[in-house]
Structure 1
Amino acid sequence: MNELVSIIMPSYNTGKYIAESIQSIIEQTYKNWELLIIDDCSTDNTDDVVSQFRDLRIRYLKNDKNSGAAVSRNYGLQEAKGKWIAFLDSDDLWMPQKIEKQISFMQKNHYFFSYTQYEEIDEQSKSLGRVISGPKRITQKLMKAYCWPGCLTIMYDAEKIGMIQIENLKKHNDYAMWLKAIKNSDCYLLEQNLARYRKRNGSISNTGYSKLIKYHYLLWKNGEKCSSVIATVRTIENVFCGVWKKLAYVKKEDGCR
């Protein structure tokens, strides 16, 4: 279990958080990884923060112009050299055994695509007491119904899934990747909390409900090239399943780290 893991990390004006995110990768018990940070023309101190890390496994790439997370992820995937592909946004965190446990889970069960549970934290890295899970097995049909996995928990075998490149979507570009990956393998849940997702005021993930519905529609219309009718039906299904996820797969726990 010593194959290279390529970790894709888009960044934009997260100088306040990115050091902690990078450190959570450095502290992994699994050591054979490369971190590809793709900066989207940040205007804060991200450059200065990243330059403090001298680890040769870290590659700092830059977009020519501000282009969005979809372009950054595409760039990172083009540059990735690992058998395993994983994702961590520049304000989120991993638990120390995340990579080791997930690869072991996949190799033991002959899986090619997996995700884990995660907990939510605030801007000060304090737990909000919520752990998010999902279905134990996500088929292509189920993935179309909703984006069940958290991006920070995904890992897949690049040799099986192949090269993924997505449309330039402002929102739900991670979902666009899973919709492509699921065509080559079902996705399986490792039922352990191995990541920490940061809830930030003003972030794109906290976009208003009406705009989120719009972005779901654009995912299907522009990303998946569906007709207007199919895109509308898929959007309605996504909204319904989003409510179901909150009811069925979000647990409130006092014992979060």
Structure 2
Amino acid sequence: MPVYNAQKFLRAAMESILQQTLHDFEFLIIDDGSTDDSLAIIQSFADPRIRLYQNEQNLGISATLNKGIELATAPLIARMDADDISYPDRLQRQVDYLQKNPACAMVSSLVKVVDEQGRFLRQDVFKSEYFYYNLTFICWIYHPTVLYRKAAVQSVSGYTAPYAEDFELFWQLSRKYPIHNLPQVLLDYRVTSQSLHQVLRKAEYASAQQEQILRNIQYYTGPDCVVPSTYIECYQHNFLPLLQKREVQEMVRCLRMLDDLTKQILLKDNPNRNVEAIQKAAVYKKRYIVDSLLPHLAWTQSIYLLLSVFSLKDLVKFCRAKRIEAKRKDTQPEQFPAPHLTPELSLA
């Protein structure tokens, strides 16, 4: 657990680890030069499992995490943030999974996303078999949920990026080892005003992710592949830049490039490669993108888009899925976060 000026939520985060049903672990905490009462809070705990280290100066998240990996004496390392809450059986479930699946290098879990007061915001429902395909475009894995093998992380040189460091590590691990996400919610993930990737360093993280996604795509297509930034944003489910171009043909080209990329992903050998899962994940992703673009198009543009990116068979399946989804929404609340769109923007 790296700690930097985390006094507001630190005690609850520490207690959630110390109260785990799995008792045999070392609790490495590295204070990265906090100037608030974080250090005093940590020192107020008398649990012998706690190992506290202090950086002489603020090193930043990646260097601090790498230091923790080096200091860890156990072969399995669980990540935790100083403002989140791990459920009591989190560590036991994850250790059990890795023990039963020795080839797997990292296991994560689902989360409930909460605000600073702990109020429920959303729960993303992501199937583990779709992670490999989607990790090309989006970091679906919540960093403080992961438990990984120390040797595997060291084999890919640990955290190597100053921003979006978790996305980079997960990508590198998934190139060499199987990864898995448990279907249970095992952590409350807190969104706060101090969140690095969403508030304090939002621009830096966004830029790093753009570079990483382009690199990920070129891993499959080759280094000469040129991908417009608007396409990358679209593949991340930020549709506003593509919509602002007001060109339906550009949307068609974006989706066709996604189809071509899916073919390349299917051909690339990988320990997480599952043809059926990749195909299903690609179908869902394409449908989600089209479904998000359609409300902002005139009906003639919508028809053009649909006929340009779907075969007749796939179009029938898309329309059938839309009807099923409409019926589900009548009885169930929305489970996924809304796309990044402004309601007043329309090509109509």
TM-score (norm 2): 0.60
Identity rate, percent: 23
Considering fraction of residues, name the structure with more helix.
2
**Residue 217 of structure 1 contacts residue 231 of structure 1 at CA under 8 Å; is this kept in 2?**
no
- For residues 27-42 of structure 1, what are the structure 2 equivalents within 5 Å? 27-42=19-34
Amino acid at match of 2:57: K
Give the one of 120, 123, 132 matched to 1:131.
123
Check if 1:113 corresponds to 2:197: no
2: distance between equivalents of 1:161 and 1:204? 23
Residue 168 to residue 146, structure 1, CA distance change in 2 (3 Å): closer
Q: Whose Rg is larger?
A: 2
Structure showing greater relative contact order (alpha-carbon pairs closer than 8 Å, 6 or more residues apart): 1
- For residues 50-129 of structure 1, what are the structure 2 equivalents within 5 Å? 50-110=42-102, 111-124=104-117, 126-129=118-121
**Residue 127 of structure 2 contacts residue 183 of structure 2 at CA under 8 Å; is this kept in 1?**
no
How far apart are 1:97 and its partner, in Å?
Answer: 0.3
**Residue 38 of structure 1 contacts residue 62 of structure 1 at CA under 8 Å; is this kept in 2?**
yes
How far apart are 1:154 and its partner, in Å?
Answer: 0.9
Instruction: Look up the match of 1:167.
Output: 160
1: distance between equivalents of 2:230 and 2:32? 29
Q: Structure 1: which 5+ residue stretches go unaligned?
A: 1-8, 253-257
Q: Root-mean-square deviation (CA), in Å?
A: 3.4
Q: Structure 2: which 5+ residue stretches go unaligned?
A: 239-284, 293-333, 337-348
Residue 187 to residue 137, structure 1, CA distance change in 2 (3 Å): farther
- For residues 216-255 of structure 1, what are the structure 2 equivalents within 5 Å? 216-217=209-210, 219=212, 236-237=231-232, 240-242=235-237, 251=335
1: distance between equivalents of 2:153 and 2:195? 30
Amino acid at match of 1:214: S
Instruction: Look up the match of 1:6.
Output: none
2: distance between equivalents of 1:231 and 1:70? 29
2: distance between equivalents of 1:22 and 1:231? 46
**Residue 70 of structure 1 contacts residue 166 of structure 1 at CA under 8 Å; is this kept in 2?**
yes
Residue 209 to residue 80, structure 1, CA distance change in 2 (3 Å): closer
Range 14-23 or range 200-209, more displaced: 200-209
How far apart are 1:159 and its partner, in Å?
Answer: 4.0
Amino acid at match of 1:115: S
Instruction: Look up the match of 1:200.
Output: 192
Residue 204 to residue 67, structure 1, CA distance change in 2 (3 Å): same
**Residue 118 of structure 1 contacts residue 131 of structure 1 at CA under 8 Å; is this kept in 2?**
yes
How far apart are 1:107 and its partner, in Å?
Answer: 3.0
Secondary structure at the aligned position of 2:210 is classed as: helix
1: distance between equivalents of 2:230 and 2:147? 26
Residue 16 to residue 162, structure 1, CA distance change in 2 (3 Å): same
TM-score (norm 1): 0.79
